[in-house]
Amino acid sequence: MAISGEGRFEEVARKARRVQDAVAEVRGRAALNGVRIEVEADGRIVGLELPDAALAQVISRAHELALARARERAAELRAELTADPMVAGVLRRLTRALPDLANSPGPQAFPPDGVDEGANGYALPAAIRRRYGLG
């Protein structure tokens, strides 16, 4: 029995959600010359160990600046695509096909809810900042 176009679309949407959830769990780790770092697939630093606290502070500030620049450029690029009426229609169709996806909070940013990290949800975790006297 053949799957209808609508059924195939829903199947692809479910697959996309599974892949998105799996990617959200990906972590990369590296250690080099006394520096240990852990990042998520999107580049967010979730773990950092350095022998020098001043260096940790410089890295944190540079990371925040680079992330802001990357987000701004990515938003500019996405605007061209999302302004296309066909793409907008597909997005509407997707949100109707999977209402739980549209209402889902998505991957949770570090730190957990209730902990104020300021404007940058990608800042170094509070425990790391405390370890190096950064705040």
Spatial CA neighbour of 46 closest among 115, 133, 110, 105? 110
Q: What is the pLDDT of residues 91-122, one digit of tens each?
A: 778 777 766 554 555 444 444 444 444 455 55
pLDDT of res. 25: 92
Neighbours of 73 (CB within 10 A): 10
Q: Where are the domains of the chain?
A: 5-131
pLDDT of res. 109: 43
pLDDT of res. 132: 61
What's the whole-number average pLDDT of the chain? 76
pLDDT of res. 112: 44
